[in-house]
């Protein structure tokens, strides 16, 4: 809004501004000075009555976003008039960039940043400061009942969340004219409902007949002493998304009316005395509007006899906002807000994702990689489960993790399970590891751990167990299983056992110490040290095999690089190109499509035709020379 006068006369936020003679010769500096002055005025307006400024800006935004902006957006900001044409795109772009007003207050503190938000400051200055008449003032909530009582309503109606007083300065032309018309006349209050987008014009130019529909009752401004009669005509709409009052608003004008019969048609209730009887159609219309023969309506044909005194605002909380708010962190829900501001792109993106999903669903390579991904996720999930299983043994030393763990389970009603439960009564159960040769595990799975499957050692006869996995690993001699196995051709197994803590069937080999308790011969101590105990680990020798059972089987496998037996798959070298194309259908389709386009392009290309004819001619000459 360059070129606007910098002095303001008699504003509610009056400031002493520099005169025009004080402007500097440098245009940029002069513009910056102008912005600083506007920033001062904006600050005063916002700090004086923040909610009043918020609702005034919200009404302006509602009018700007209305498809009837030609009639609703009056007065129009002159800075957005380009050769007499309203530049709505530029105006809406600036409105969209306006942050919440409390953020504007913070930005006004930074004088160095004013030039970056000059368009926002100019527009806010025009709406909140330049359009100073009439002024809005927030009415405290405790005074709401007193204000509403002026209309002398008899029917109950929903109370508004906010009431704003509409006031003109004492020396204004509108106030002087009103006082002249009101002389020797009674003044009463009545309500008027209208669309939200019309209230920007109503505030600045008063109630106008052209803003109301023509009805059977006649032309004019319709008023009612009952709030609930006017509420249906107060069509709600979206104001400003970042408003502290609410994003969805509806407004009612509480008007002062000069009781001058020459400018007002009093629609009295239908009665049996014959006073005020209308035609059947009009009476029916009043009944449908809620009068039911009990209410009086006023149709004001002279708009000078009515003025807006209070504005009643019904607000919904701004759940979904068109603009970012100031009180919340703008990084929260950033993607959601971005998509809300770019609806067309969001629709196109969703459509593209839908097409891509359909394409992926019918694409064999995608299926292949999807299965690989699922397999990797399954491996990751299995590794987590493996850690949980291995934690049962409470090992303290690190050991290589198995590639596979298989649970060994018996049915609940089996003889072995019943016998185990009987033995385990009133006893603690712990876990320990047992290593053995691969070829023994077939018998171990079917008949359990047996003493004859273990070597006799210096420590005694029995089934040897250890709480440490790395102690049992050396006894887990690997061997060749099935060459065509998907697990591996070379395997080694460890049994993770459940052990019933019954002293009569288990010999606990405690660590070597200096106190003499549990001291073994030197040879036994040396053997334990070689096994990795180093005098710190306990081994268990189970002499009663009924006290131990295999609960999990840990499998260490080598990848089946070379297999002893032929695989079931066919030789992939046969028909290699054909099978490769079959496995890459999408690429084959795109390649064929590209070749088709290239063929069509070559067929319609004159230079190609020219060189093709030359080539044919040379081939013909060469062939002729060969024949000669």
Residue 348 has pLDDT above 50, yes or no: yes
Give the SS3 label for residue 565: coil
> Do 495 and 437 have their domain in common?
yes
What is the share, in percent, of the chain residues with pLDDT greater than 70? 76
Residue 129 has pLDDT above 60, yes or no: yes
Cα–Cα distance for residue pair 201/75, rounded to 1 Å: 7
Sheet of 264-267: strand order equals 221-223, 297-300, 264-267
Bridge partners for 193 per DSSP: 252
The mean per-residue pLDDT over the stretch 573-586 comes to: 68
Residue 495 has pLDDT above 90, yes or no: yes
The domain containing residue 471 runs over which residues? 394-557
Cα–Cα distance for residue pair 366/289, rounded to 1 Å: 64
The answer as to whether 327 is a domain residue is: no
Residue 110 has pLDDT above 50, yes or no: yes
> Do 499 and 416 have their domain in common?
yes
Q: Does residue 139 contact residue 149 with C-beta atoms inside 8 Å?
A: no
CATH of the domain at 223: 3.90.228.10
Helices (H), 391-499: 415-424, 441-447, 469-472
Residue 550 has pLDDT above 90, yes or no: yes
> Do 386 and 402 have their domain in common?
no
DSSP-derived secondary structure letter, 555: E
Q: Does residue 468 contact residue 396 with C-beta atoms inside 8 Å?
A: yes
Residue 321 has pLDDT above 70, yes or no: no
CA nearest to 312, candidates 71, 186, 143: 143
237 or 289, which is more confident: 237
The mean per-residue pLDDT over the stretch 529-554 comes to: 74
Q: What is the mean pLDDT of the chain?
A: 77
Range with lowest mean pLDDT among 24-33, 143-152, 545-554, 610-619 = 24-33
Q: Which single residue is written with the structure tokens 């067309």?
A: 344
DSSP-derived secondary structure letter, 466: B
CA nearest to 162, candidates 245, 64, 272, 39: 245
Angle between helices 88-97 and 118-125 (to 10 degrees): 100
pLDDT of residue 499: 92
Confidence of residue 572 (pLDDT cuts 50, 70, 90): very low
Q: Which single residue is written with the structure tokens 């509610």?
A: 12
Sheet of 539-542: strand order equals 463-465, 539-542, 506-509
> Do 85 and 188 have their domain in common?
no
Question: How far are the Cα atoms of 62, 296, 369, 379, 406 from residue 372, in angstroms, in the given order?
Answer: 54, 78, 5, 10, 22
Give the SS3 label for residue 44: helix
> Do 389 and 405 have their domain in common?
no
Could you tell me which residues come within 8 angstroms of residue 33 by beta carbon, excluding any fewer than 6 positions away?
18, 23, 24
Helices (H), 473-605: 522-530, 576-583, 585-603
Could you tell me which residues come within 8 angstroms of residue 234 by beta carbon, excluding any fewer than 6 positions away?
193, 194, 195, 196, 250, 251, 252, 314
Q: Which single residue is written with the structure tokens 């690997």?
A: 478
Q: Quickly count: other Cβ atoms within 10 Å of residue 177's Cβ.
A: 12
The mean per-residue pLDDT over the stretch 602-621 comes to: 76
> Do 378 and 401 have their domain in common?
no
Residue 491 has pLDDT above 80, yes or no: yes
Q: Which single residue is written with the structure tokens 């006004």?
A: 108
H/E segment holding residue 64: helix 50-64
> Do 277 and 409 have their domain in common?
no
The answer as to whether 301 is a domain residue is: yes
Residue 285 has pLDDT above 50, yes or no: no
The answer as to whether 294 is a domain residue is: yes
Q: What is the pLDDT of residues 455-474, one digit of tens each?
A: 656 667 788 899 988 888 88
Confidence of residue 560 (pLDDT cuts 50, 70, 90): low
Q: What is the pLDDT of residues 8-21, one digit of tens each?
A: 333 333 333 333 33
pLDDT of residue 625: 77
pLDDT of residue 28: 54
The answer as to whether 568 is a domain residue is: no
CA nearest to 253, candidates 217, 283, 316, 208: 208
The answer as to whether 328 is a domain residue is: no
Q: What is the CA radius of gyration of the chain?
A: 46
> Do 202 and 295 have their domain in common?
yes
List the structure tokens of 247. Answer: 């994003």
383 or 496, which is more confident: 496
* Domain count across the chain: 5
pLDDT of residue 291: 47
Cα–Cα distance for residue pair 305/262, rounded to 1 Å: 10
pLDDT of residue 212: 60
Cα–Cα distance for residue pair 23/4, rounded to 1 Å: 13
The answer as to whether 293 is a domain residue is: yes
> Do 388 and 535 have their domain in common?
no
Largest CA distance in the chain: 130
The mean per-residue pLDDT over the stretch 73-98 comes to: 88
DSSP 522-550: HHHHHHHHHTT-TT---EEEES-GGGEEE
> Do 192 and 113 have their domain in common?
no
> Do 513 and 496 have their domain in common?
yes
The answer as to whether 8 is a domain residue is: no
> Do 403 and 388 have their domain in common?
no
The answer as to whether 551 is a domain residue is: yes
Give the SS3 label for residue 520: coil
pLDDT of residue 408: 92
Q: Which single residue is written with the structure tokens 């990689």?
A: 369
Cα–Cα distance for residue pair 486/54, rounded to 1 Å: 71
Cα–Cα distance for residue pair 556/571, rounded to 1 Å: 30
């Amino acid at each position: 809004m360059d070129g606007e006068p910098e002095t303001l006369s008699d504003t509610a936020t009056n400031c002493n501004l520099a005169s025009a003679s004080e402007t500097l010769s440098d245009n940029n500096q002069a513009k910056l000075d102008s912005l600083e002055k506007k920033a001062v005025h904006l600050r005063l307006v916002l700090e004086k009555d923040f909610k009043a400024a918020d609702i005034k800006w919200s009404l302006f935004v509602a009018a700007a976003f209305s498809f009837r902006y030609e009639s609703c957006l009056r007065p129009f900001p002159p800075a957005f008039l380009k050769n007499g044409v309203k530049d709505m795109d530029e105006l809406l772009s600036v409105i969209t960039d306006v942050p919440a007003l409390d953020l504007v207050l913070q930005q006004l503190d930074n004088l160095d940043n004013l030039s970056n938000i000059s368009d926002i400051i100019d527009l806010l200055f025009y709406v909140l400061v330049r359009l100073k008449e009439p002024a809005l003032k927030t009415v405290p909530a405790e005074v709401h009942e007193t204000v509403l009582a002026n209309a002398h309503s008899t029917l109950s109606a929903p109370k508004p969340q906010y009431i704003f007083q509409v006031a003109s300065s004492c020396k204004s032309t509108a106030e002087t004219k009103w006082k002249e018309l009101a002389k020797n006349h009674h003044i009463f209050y009545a309500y008027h409902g209208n669309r939200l987008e019309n209230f920007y014009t109503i505030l600045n130019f008063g109630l106008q007949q052209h803003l109301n529909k023509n009805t059977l009752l006649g032309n004019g401004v319709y008023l009612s002493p009952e709030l609930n009669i006017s509420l249906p005509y107060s069509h709600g709409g979206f104001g400003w998304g970042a408003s502290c009052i609410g994003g969805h608003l509806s407004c009612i004008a509480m008007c002062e009316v000069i009781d001058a019969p020459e400018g007002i048609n009093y629609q009295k209730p239908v009665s049996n005395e014959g006073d005020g009887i209308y035609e059947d159609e009009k009476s029916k219309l009043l009944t449908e509007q809620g009068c039911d023969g009990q209410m009086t309506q006023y149709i004001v044909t002279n708009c000078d006899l009515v003025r807006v005194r209070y504005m009643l605002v019904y607000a919904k909380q701004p759940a979904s906002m068109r603009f970012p708010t100031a009180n919340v962190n703008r990084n929260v829900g950033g993607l959601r807000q971005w998509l809300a501001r770019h609806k067309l792109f969001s629709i196109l993106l969703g459509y593209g994702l839908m097409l891509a999903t359909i394409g992926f669903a019918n694409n064999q390579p995608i299926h292949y990689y999807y299965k690989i991904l699922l397999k990797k996720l399954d491996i990751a999930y299995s590794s987590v489960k493996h850690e949980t299983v291995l934690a049962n043994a409470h090992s303290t030393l690190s050991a290589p993790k198995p590639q596979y763990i298989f649970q060994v389970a018996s049915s609940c009603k089996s003889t072995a399970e019943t016998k185990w439960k009987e033995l385990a009564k009133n006893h603690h159960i712990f876990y320990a590891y047992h290593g053995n040769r691969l070829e023994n595990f077939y018998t171990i799975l079917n008949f359990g751990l047996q003493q004859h499957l273990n070597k006799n050692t210096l420590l005694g006869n029995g089934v040897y167990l250890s709480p440490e996995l790395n102690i049992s690993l050396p006894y887990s001699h690997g061997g060749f299983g099935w060459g065509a196995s998907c697990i591996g051709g070379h395997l080694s197994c460890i049994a993770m056992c459940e052990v019933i803590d019954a002293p009569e069937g288990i010999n606990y080999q405690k660590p070597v110490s200096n106190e003499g308790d549990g001291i073994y011969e030197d040879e036994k101590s040396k053997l334990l040290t070689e096994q990795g105990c180093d005098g710190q680990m306990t081994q268990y020798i189970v002499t009663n095999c009924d006290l131990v059972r295999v609960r999990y089987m840990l499998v260490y496998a080598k990848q089946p690089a070379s297999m002893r037996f032929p695989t079931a798959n066919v030789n992939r070298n046969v028909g290699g190109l054909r099978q490769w194309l079959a496995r890459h259908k999408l690429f084959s389709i795109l390649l064929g499509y590209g070749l088709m386009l290239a063929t069509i392009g070559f067929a319609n290309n004159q230079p190609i035709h020219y060189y093709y004819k030359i080539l044919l001619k040379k081939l013909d000459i060469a062939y002729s020379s060969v024949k000669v």
